[in-house]
Structure 1
Amino acid sequence: MAPIRTSWTRLIRFVAAETSQVHIGEPVDRKLDVGLAYAKRQPIKAYEIVGSVLDPGAQVTKNILTVKELLSPLSREQLGIVRCLGLNYSDHAIECNLDKPKYPILFYKPPTAIIGPGAPITIPKVVQPVEQHLPDYETSFRYHQMAVSQWGFSKGYDNATPLGPCLVAAAAFPDPQKISLKTVLNGRTLQDGNTENQIFNIRDTIAFLSQGTTLLPGSIIMTGTPKGVGFVKKPPVYLKNGDDVTVWVDGGIGSLVNPVIEEGKASVKAKL
């Protein structure tokens, strides 16, 4: 099946300085890392898109707006089911001393877990102290994950899963299995991978998940994490209050920058 064609290549959702309203738009600067620019408080301009992010017929206009607040590309109301694959990178399976799965390992996240660029990744009181619960920088809480066979509880906490900074049209990816991705914690690169190491590639994942199950508009599929996760390091590396996490994905997606807070230790207004 050919990818859906849209009039936009990169889409962001934001509050505009000119209107104080939520809009969607296409960044004027085609090469700008929108998430990094937002984190550095640099100006971001976007051509307004008329229509819905879920409507392939939405049209890019010539009206230029200024980004005041960058939001998750999809609001919680627009999200369908958030499906996630576990143990989907061969190098990650090796570092965990686990066999490659025969079928995709699937778990789900609720919409309340999703936050946008710049919003704080929240470590709730129920998974404190962090030294015991090991919140990983790929935003799971390892203590509860390893305690049971189902991962939904440990990976579904409110305000713990950033999404963004933008959507990139499928047609803009010549090969989705040649995409680099990194995780940087407090300026230190801890994950440096590539989608070529996925056990179940993008095409196979979508084909598998759509067998007998309708993937509705707004559905999210998170395709796993490469090697370098915190709980296998010696000593383990875990998130804590005041940390800064950047996840970068090539192909025009860019940098997703989020601070970390432990509930009860800081008060930061979330952006979604």
Structure 2
Amino acid sequence: MHLLTYCTDGDDTPRLGARLAGDRVADLTALAAAAGARLPDSLLELIRAGAPALATARELIAGTPATRPLAEVRLLAPLRPGKIVGVGLNYVEHVAESHRTLDTERELPDRPVLFGKPSTAVTGPGQPIRHNADLTKQLDWECELAVVIGEPAFQVAEPDALRHVFGYSIVNDISARDQRRSGQWFFSKGQDSYAPFGPVVVTADEIPDPQRLDLSLKVNGRLRQNSNTRHMLFGIARLIADISSGMTLEPGDVIATGSPSGVGAGMVPPQFLQPGDLVEATIERIGTLANPVVDAR
């Protein structure tokens, strides 16, 4: 299933939905009420409710439910994670360009490089990325596969790790390159709107091999990133095992699995986002996450 959160014109109430064939949206909350079924009314609560709730959602859309065109609704971020665990330097070519332009280590890391993004950084499809020129002159993009956790994971063995995945989405790991502080990335990557997320969460059963997905990013229609998740230095199972070795991953948490090469800081000369730009991050089998850049001052 392609699960999403949306609202309609004249009603800002978030609604739990599913994207169906033909770019149609089914209202899962309304379907459940009509069928006399019990179903959480948010994607986060659906994830936390586990397999029975997911099975109910599948049953509700198995027939011919009433739908509306996707173009008639406004998509929101699918959910607000309890925590976002970012992964740095997880594609070999990005390690090289980061060493050349961002003074990171030349050698490939022997363990995942981890950092956090707060949930307040999350913004939805079509929502603005805030460019505050008083804080940054180097606002950059990073298209990343997002892993949404479905079951609690603590000290999980790598062979069992993917069993804890609910689904996959897209995160654009926006970064103010000139706001790194003594090597710390939290403020650089954690400001409001620095985690565009969506447009949907695709359940894990529809992506049996997440290490074979094309991903790309365009700025104003020009291709900037183009790679495949098979080029990750540390695959998703390894990331879950490593993170959960000392930290509990909870349902609804998100792992942003790292960026391929092609970031603005790596271009010659470097190029960074400016107000008026449009950023489009695309991942195979998930869709495109598009966000405008606006002046936040």
Instruction: Verify same fold: TM over 0.5.
Output: yes
Displacement of 1:204: 0.5
Shift of 1:28: 2.2
TM-score of the superposition, structure 1-length normalised?
0.81
- Aligned partner of 1:27 among 19, 40, 54: 19
Tell me, which stretches of 5 or more residues in structure 1 are unaligned? 1-8, 33-43, 265-272
For 2:209, which of 168, 172, 175 is the aligned residue? Answer: 175
Q: Are 1:13 and 2:46 matched, yes or no?
A: no
Runs of 4+ in 1 over 6 A off after TM superposition: none
**Which residue number corresponds to residue 48 of structure 1?**
28
Matched to 1:208, the amino acid is D
**Residue of structure 1 in register with 2:107 after alignment:** 99
Aligned partners of 2:221, 2:249: CA distance in 1, in Å?
A: 37
* Amino acid in structure 1 at the alignment position of 2:2: R
59, 64, 68: which one pairs with 2:67? 64
1:142-198 Cα distance to aligned partner (Å, 9 max, x none)? 1122x5211111101112220000001111112111011001000100000111110
Match of 1:87 in 2: 89
Give 1:223's match in structure 2, choosing from 250, 257, 260. Answer: 257
CA contact (8 A) 1:27 1:47 kept: no
Report the alpha carbon displacement of residue 125 of structure 1 after superposing the two structures with TM: 4.4
Q: Comparing both structures, which one devotes a greater share of its residues to helix?
A: 2
Q: Which of 114, 128, 139 does residue 120 from structure 1 map onto?
A: 128
Instruction: Report sequence identity in percent.
Output: 36
Q: Distance in 2 between matches of 1:212 and 1:159?
A: 28
- State whether structure 2 residue 195 is matched by structure 1 residue 150: no
TM-score normalised per structure 2: 0.74
**Aligned counterpart, 2:176:** 141
Structure with greater strand share of residues: 2
CA distance in 2: counterparts of 1:20 and 1:263, whole angstroms: 23
How much has 1:124 moved relative to structure 2? 2.5
> What residue is the counterpart of 1:36 in the other structure?
none
Alignment size in residue pairs: 235
Offset of residue 45 of structure 1: 2.7
1:19 CA displacement: 6.3
From 226, 233, 242, the counterpart of 1:208: 242
- For residues 192-231 of structure 1, what are the alpha-carbon distances to aligned partners after superposition, in whole Å with 9 as ceiling and x for unaligned? 0111110110011011111132111111100010011111
Aligned-residue Cα RMSD (Å) equals 1.9
Shift of the 198–21 alpha-carbon distance from structure 1 to 2, 3 Å rule, reads same
Q: Using the alignment, how far apart are the partners of 2:228 and 2:82 within structure 1? A: 27
Unaligned runs of 5+ in 2: 30-38, 100-105, 143-173
- Distance in 1 (alpha carbons) for counterparts of 2:230 and 2:94: 13
Q: SS of 2:127's equivalent? A: coil
- Alpha carbons 1:48, 1:63 under 8 Å: kept: no
Whole-Å Cα distance in 2 between the matches of residues 164 and 237 of structure 1? Answer: 25
- Retained in 1: the 8 A contact 2:15–2:27? no
Q: Does 1:248 align with 2:282?
A: yes
Q: Conserved in 2, the CA contact under 8 Å of 1:17 and 1:65?
A: no
Distance 1:255 1:151 in 2: 26
How much has 1:64 moved relative to structure 2?
2.7
Q: CA deviation at 1:114?
A: 0.6
3-state SS of 2:186 partner = coil
Deviation per CA, 1:10-60: give whole Å up to 9, x if none.
101001459653211111216x4xxxxxxxxxxx43252542422331433
Moved more, 178-187 or 211-220: 211-220
Q: How far apart, in 1, do the equivalents of 2:10 and 2:130 lie? A: 31
